Structure 1
Amino acid sequence: MTTIRDIAKLSGYSVATVSRVLNNHPYVSEEKRRKILALIKELDYIPNIKARNLSIGVSKHIAVMIPFATHPCTDKIVSGILSAAFEAGYKVTLLPTNYDPTIEKRYLDELAAQAWDGMIITSKKLSFEVISSYLKYAPIVCCEETGDYPLSCVAIDRRKSYHELFTALIEKGYRNIGLIVGRAAKDSASTSIVLDTYRSVTGRKDDTYIVKNCRTFEDGVKAGDYFATLKSLEVIVTNGDDVAAGVLQNDALTSIDIIGEENLLPSRLLNFSTVDHHLDQCGEAAFQLLFEKKKKTITIPHTYIERNKR
């Protein structure tokens, strides 16, 4: 295999000069550039990308830590990241973790070893304290509120969006409001916020109308089976359009209003209302924050999309 030293030896120029040509450095004479480029073409030389990245200090390659390889909400954030990264000429590696802190820590160690130029964390199990300790190696941006920690973030004001939603439902005369959430409150700040807001606005302290640990269509089907046993139920607020679509598989709930989340295809096809937190915009903003020198927080506004009752 031809190396950069072979090109230097055959051209009669130094390795440094060949490296300048490979990196399109301006301070090389046209005669030298033409001769070196001709040899590169003749010998079909392919530069060592890792070595070149080390020499220029950037690989234009970022990592995105995601909880699951396939999840509608994660897909929407990733779509925004990919769109922004493509425009900037960056490569993106997705790192599924299944919320395993050991795996998350391993990926952060790889970041410290300069595997990527930076990392976006869409959701995690590790503490912000642990994550913050890696900022000395590379920039990190989180897709959730990071509080006083020195981590830039793109936040969704779930407290505001759910307060507005539950308040609007109460004002419409609903009293028995079902709620579906994902991870346990002790593991998820988002779940904790939604539950606190629900109890504060509705005044309901028990969990009779709450179903937890739902993330998929299949989970929604099981939740629908439970809600079908609650005769006084009037409306169900879910944590995702796929989950809402699962709930709707139960024929006993045909008279119940369903509200989804994130304005995905199921809510449009089945014509139910949804809260859009614009996660694609969250992903785009997270990518841009990787290049900010100081900590910065961006809050993405939400939109309630009301559709006809089925």
Structure 2
Amino acid sequence: MPTIKDVALRAGVSRSTVSRVMNNQPYVDEEKRKAVKQAMKELGYLPNSSAQRLRGTETRTIAVLVSRIVNPFFSAIVDAMDEVAAEQSYRLILCNTRGSANQELHFLQLLRTKQVDGLILASLVNDWETIAPYTDYGPIVICNEYPRQSDGVPVVTIDQSKAMYEATVHLLKKGYKQIAYCNPITKTESDAVISPLAQDRYLGFCQAMEEAGMHMYGECLFLGHSLEDGRNIFKQMVCLANRPDAILTGSDEVAAGIIAEAKAAGWKIPDDLAIVGFDNQPHATLIEPELTTIHQPVQEMGRAAMERMLALLRKESPPPLATYLEAPLLARKST
């Protein structure tokens, strides 16, 4: 993070001059004022005026970053966090990054400028090396998605690999042999990113397939996270020479899209295609047929993440660095 000293060096002035420019004080040469402002812009320096105002004072506010609040998973997890926060007279600021790395960094500035006391990351776009410096400005808790290394920051999630392994075994025991797989993705401004969470789920799938002596075909591997992605995945599957007889998806939204498109094409679920979702969102039991899915303990996850944040703010004994909640498979009529 750039400092006043960095700005002074870039502008070729003293730190006191930088301070006077930041505080709009008179008697500063106009050329020096322009040089300081230009240096601040080039370095991305943000005057920490909020921190100066709030030094020693709590805001009793916690920021929660999600990628897509329209996803029922995120709305449910935020609701659970808010319930715990409200019990302790804290309030939440909901920050919808929309998968934007720049937007994520913009919201992280809330912690740096002391506009919030702590920050919970329910989604991740930037790599941890970019995010880690913000831990100097206040507590961070990671919930749901996670980096490979988190430098002592508490993480609350599920055992992604185990969950997908058990879902794959379920299909294999049902007698399905040509199993397709859809990996969840994080969409950024310019690309689709396979997160550690998605990588671990895929490892669970591969382990179960290998143990059963089953082959995995590259043409049966897909990427997606939305209802529309599910529709498009089905359209791709029907064009394959060896059509899958089952598919594991990264979300109930993808699964719902596949089911809708399959039924429109006259396919019967699960006779023509078995489908497994992920999350156990409310609509999973409203789909016809009811969706087999992995139950994400969303309420427990949200509450646990907020409890760890509050423990950090109260400076209690350090919360567990990693908490893995159970995520059982719920077998229904789509398999």
Fold conserved between structures, TM > 0.5: yes
How many residues align structurally? 259
Report the secondary structure of 1:197's partner residue. Answer: helix
Once residues 159 and 247 of structure 2 are traced to their aligned partners in structure 1, the CA distance between those partners, rounded to angstroms, is: 21
User: Secondary structure of 1:236's match?
Assistant: strand
Aligned to 1:237: 248
Which residue type is aligned with residue 258 of structure 1?
I
SS at 1:80 equivalent: helix
Residue identity matched to 2:161 = R
Note if contact 1:64-1:119 (Cα within 8 Å) is conserved in structure 2: yes
CA distance in 2, matches of 1:176, 1:258: 12
Please say which of residues 223-232 and 128-137 is displaced more in the overlay.
Answer: 223-232
| SS of residue in 1 equivalent to 2:63 | strand
Name the residue aligned to 1:167.
Answer: 169
Could you tell me how far apart the structure 1 residues matched to 2:267 and 2:180 are? 12
- Report the AA paired with residue 197 of structure 2: S
Partner SS state of residue 275, structure 1: strand
Match of 2:304 among 265, 282, 285: 285
Q: Which residue of 2 aligns with 1:262?
A: 279
Q: Rg larger in 1 or in 2? A: 1
- Give the CA deviation at 1:295: 5.4
Match of 2:195 among 151, 170, 188: 188
Distance 1:183 1:308 in 2: 26
Change (3 A) 1:241 1:309: closer
The Cα offsets for residues 263-308 of structure 1, whole Å up to 9 and x where unpaired, read as 1122101212110121221111111111334252211111211113
1:182–1:191 Cα contact (<8 Å) kept: yes
Report the equivalent of 2:155: 153
Task: Give the direction of change, closer, same or farther, for the CA distance of 1:281–1:237 in structure 2 (3 Å limit).
Answer: same
* Length-normalised TM-score, structure 2: 0.71
Moved over 6 A (4+): none
CA spacing shift, 1:159–1:298, aligned 2, 3 Å? same
1:28-67: CA deviation from partner (whole Å, max 9, x where unpaired): xxxxxxxxxxxxxxxxxxxxxx99x937621211101111
* Structure 2: segments with no counterpart, 5+ residues: 1-49, 187-191, 313-317
Distance 1:145 1:75, change over 3 A: same
What is the root-mean-square deviation of aligned Cα atoms in Å?
2.4
* Contiguous gaps of at least 5 residues in structure 1: 1-49
Aligned counterparts, 1:25-174, within 5 A:
54=54, 57-143=57-143, 144-146=145-147, 147=149, 149-174=151-176
Deviation of 1:200 after TM superposition, in Å, equals: 3.0
**% of aligned pairs identical?**
24
**CA deviation string 1:162-189 (max 9, x = no partner):** 1122123223322111222221785411
Check conservation: 1:157, 1:300, Cα contact below 8 A: yes
Q: Residues 166 and 198 of structure 1 are in contact (CA less than 8 Å); yes or no, is this contact kept in structure 2?
A: yes
